[in-house]
Structure 1
Amino acid sequence: MEELFDGLLNDHLGFVVWSTVAFVLLLILLGKFAWKPIMAAITERERSIEDALLKAEAAKEEMARLTNENEQLLKEARAERDLILREARQMKDQIVNEAKDAAQEEGARMIEKARLEINSQKAVALAAVKSQVAELSIEIAEKVLRKQFQNKTEQDALVADLLRDVKVN
């Protein structure tokens, strides 16, 4: 057994030593040339991820702030819209009322003008009728008088009747 152990140890001892030397050499080379750049890349990657996370958090906070501002602006815009609509309704009501008042005044003025015109036309028509009645009365009286004055006795009787009426009055 010892022989087997000595054989294994002697045969493989060189392999173990060279393997260990190669491994140590590989560790030194990796440590000098690869380990620092790999660790620097990993550190840089961690830093860029942290920066991205910080930027994302800042963007999230900015978005929340902007959302709050937008909501506030929206509330203000709605309040201003309501105020403008209320003022517009009041202005519309005022304009409608003024238009109604103006229409009523104009209607009353037109009715009064028409009434005055009707009264004026009525007076003119009455004057014309009176004039025509007077002319007709004169014509009738003239015809009656001509007829009555053809006869002398009838003239005397008419004058007597007229004198009696004058005395009675």
Structure 2
Amino acid sequence: MSNLSENRINVVLAAADVTTINESINAILSKIPENTTLTDTQRNSYTAIDVSNKVFSEDVLTEARATGTGVLPPYIDLDALQNDLTIFNQLDAIESGLTNLLQRVKDAKRIAGHEAFGMANKAYKSYRDASDSGIANAKSGYDKLKVRFESQGKSGGRGLSPDLQ
């Protein structure tokens, strides 16, 4: 349960900031090549490149550029290999930044949800206690709110979050 005196996130993003964030996401998406969406089957069948595979690919490119003339068939496109390695490195750096960003968004969302649900449970307990005490208007509010917990069967029929019993 959250500590009611601690509210780590007590802000709302300005509508303009949300718009800017969404525009930035769209701007990033627009820079990623369009033909790069995979089906689940493709995701499972394409070879993932790990560190050793990346080093091998770089070594092949280096060796081919140095000694490949006359050795490699004409359908081996070294410029395409170089482009693939370059964009792989670029996307790897972008992915790292986005992974950090996504974790921060998820953490902030988790904190906000935790605080909201904790405060809501405390308010709900106050409705329940006020209803039990006969405070005017409390019973109707409690009756509306207790539906959330009635199906859980853990509250002894009082409609209370298990954390608040």
Fold match by TM threshold 0.5: no
More helix, by proportion: 1
TM-score by length of 2: 0.35
